[in-house]
Amino acid sequence: MSYYAFGIGGTGAKCVESLVHIAAAGLLPDKEDLHVLFIDPDGANGSVGRATSLLKNYRDCRLGKVGSEELFKTKIEPLRAKDADDNEPYIWSPLAGGKYQLDSFYSSTLLSDETRFLFDILFTPEEQKTNLEVGFRGRPAIGSAVMATAVDFEKSEPWRSIRKQMEADVGNSKPVKIVLFGSIFGGTGASGFPTIGRIIRDWVEDLRSEASSAVDLGGVLLLPYFSFPPVEDQGVAANSEDFLLNTQAALQYYANKNNLGVFDRTYLLGSENRIRMREAKVGGRLQENDPHFIELYAALAAADFFGTESEAGAPQFILAARKAGDRLTWSDLPNSTDVQKKLVHLARFCYSFLNTFHPMISDIVGRGSEYRAPWYIQFFKYRGVPVRDQLDGKLEQFRTYCQRYLLWLANIEYSVGENLTDGPNLIASSSYATAEQDRRGGEVRIRDRFDADGLDTLHLPGEGKALGPAAIWNGMSDTHTRANADEATWTFFNSLYKQTGN
């Protein structure tokens, strides 16, 4: 099986961000590779930037993985154009070539008179001249026109390479599952989701029948779940007050044209309580919206799609709802026991690593006295690991990832009720995060020092009490390994993962 995930626009990128986190927790089925593509005309978009940075971090952490633990079990490969730099995160823009205005994209001065008149009817002069470098500004009509032209499975990269890769998978009897993430209410997602879905479906139908049955297309479509204050003095811009109207119009359009019929499975997600984003920006680096629990649902939807056998017949639509509109409990999530177990397990791992093991390693490298940590002697000293180098390498990569994961979880928690202290919804986050209220609203941050007893509040499902920090320390100190220097660091992570899951 091969898995492909396309994150369209900022919301799509945030869904991919959540997908990466659940992949780290081992929630994707079996051990097949996941291929990811970000699609956004605004390459500097803060949400996209955060997601691509996370993806790079994930891949760096996973490099050199040994053992069969669930931790980072899924290999994630970014999809790229043929000649793209392997070291750079890849974000495909339909506006490549420097044509950031609609009229220059279509070379409107070269259009015939009739085409020019149609162009003028469909798009206002302001829309024709708007700089689209920061996105389609909440105008799916603009985006659809651009996407339909730019996405070409035959001629343009990366689509040609992606097509060849998927055809190779199918040729090797490897079923292909493709999922698109996008919002229905924005600009890029709303335009790209049906357009790219249709293009992929057309390609699938052109395959031989046995090959086409090996390709499944899923769509995760997000209805409005956030709002933001109006953007001042920016000309054409998205307005969150129009989201519901846009959604109504879009859903009506989908129904009339059966646009969602191109998907074998469609997941529709939304929240009636729309969280207010801290700051409104047209685009660019500052358009970075905090993670939201809906994106966790989106990622779990993709995991469900990947793990479900395809069924011939009419397309399926999956709906889900919480029991209470102002709370989110584990039982509100699909496959709740497994999801809770793995997400909490990874949280316990990250908590332990950040609060205990990484600071201890840093202190030993700086001040010596390694006898204080028997596990350090067994995993690093006896194995001949150059720990000082690792502190700048693998250990730092994991430290960064663990902070990102806990911050993501805390934001998920915060997005339910806009606070961290009023009782946990999913995970009690106040032991490692704070939500500081400032003029822009609440920003969730990771604490410099976690509560010593905080690990005890991260409950694994099932009966019995999970190991506390002292027991984990002792468990690690009693663990021996014969790993060589190259494998010892990952062996350490595997052992810590195992201890924190008990």
Which chain residues interact with other proteins by CB under 8 A? 355-357, 359-360, 363, 369-374, 377-378, 381-382, 452-453, 468-470, 473-474, 477-478, 480
Nearer of residues 318 and 360 to other proteins, judged by Cβ: 360
- With the C-alpha atoms ordered 355, 356, 359, 363, is the resulting torsion angle positive or negative? positive
Measured distance CA(379)–CA(229) in Å, rounded = 52
- What are the C-alpha distances in Å from 425 to residues 421, 429, 483? 10, 9, 40
- The distance of closest approach from Cβ of residue 473 to other proteins in the complex, given in angstroms and rounded to an integer, is 4
Q: How far is the CB of 66 from other proteins (least distance, A)?
A: 21
Q: Which is nearer to other proteins, 164 or 480 (CB)?
A: 480
As measured in angstroms, the least distance from the Cβ of 499 to other proteins is 13
Q: Which is nearer to other proteins, 167 or 370 (CB)?
A: 370
Question: Which of 399, 365, 385, 346 is closest to 373 using CA atoms?
Answer: 365
Name the residue nearer to other proteins (CB basis): 56 or 381: 381
Least Å from the CB of residue 351 to other proteins = 12
Q: How far is the CB of 381 from other proteins (least distance, A)?
A: 8
Contact 37, 162 (CB under 8 A): yes
Q: How far apart are CA 197 and CA 81, in angstroms?
A: 19
What is the rounded CA–CA span in Å between residue 324 and residue 297? Answer: 16
CB of 367 to other proteins, least distance (A): 12
Q: For residue 22, which amino acid is it?
A: I
Task: Using the minimum distance from each CB to other proteins, give the nearer residue, 400 or 481.
Answer: 481
In sequence order, the 6+-apart residues with CB closer than 8 A to the CB of 235 are: 126, 130
Residue 29, classed as helix, strand or coil, is coil
Q: Give the closest residue to 12 by CA, choosing from 258, 252, 251, 187.
A: 187
Burial annotation 49-76 (CB, 10 A radius, 16+ → b, else e):
bbbbebbebbbbbbeebeeebbbbbbeb
Q: Would you say 91 or 373 has its CB closer to other proteins?
A: 373
Residue placing its CB nearer to other proteins in the complex, 265 or 348: 348
Q: Smaller CB distance to other proteins: residue 4 or 376?
A: 376
Q: Which is nearer to other proteins, 96 or 452 (CB)?
A: 452
How many Cβ atoms sit within 10 Å of the Cβ of residue 118? Answer: 12
Least spacing, CB of residue 482 vs other proteins, in Å: 10
Q: What CA–CA distance (Å, rounded) separates 281 from 285? A: 9
* Alpha carbon distance 93, 102 (integer Å): 14
Q: Which two tokens stand for residue 165?
A: 């890769």
Q: What is the chain's Cα-based Rg? A: 24
Task: Kindly tell me which of 377 and 391 has the beta carbon lying closer to other proteins.
Answer: 377
Q: How far is the CB of 480 from other proteins (least distance, A)?
A: 6
Contact 218, 269 (CB under 8 A): no
Q: Smallest gap, in angstroms, from Cβ of residue 355 to other proteins?
A: 8
- DSSP structure string for 107-141: TGGGS-HHHHHHHHHHS-HHHHHS-GGG--TT-HH
Backbone angles phi, psi at 461, to 5 degrees: -70, 160
Whichever of 432 and 473 has its CB closer to other proteins, that residue is: 473
Q: How far is the CB of 389 from other proteins (least distance, A)?
A: 21
Q: Give the separation between CA 218 and CA 301, rounded to whole angstroms.
A: 9
What the block records as the tokens of 492 is 């350490």
Q: How many CB atoms lie within 10 A of CB 126?
A: 9
Give me the least distance between CB of 369 and other proteins, in Å please.
7
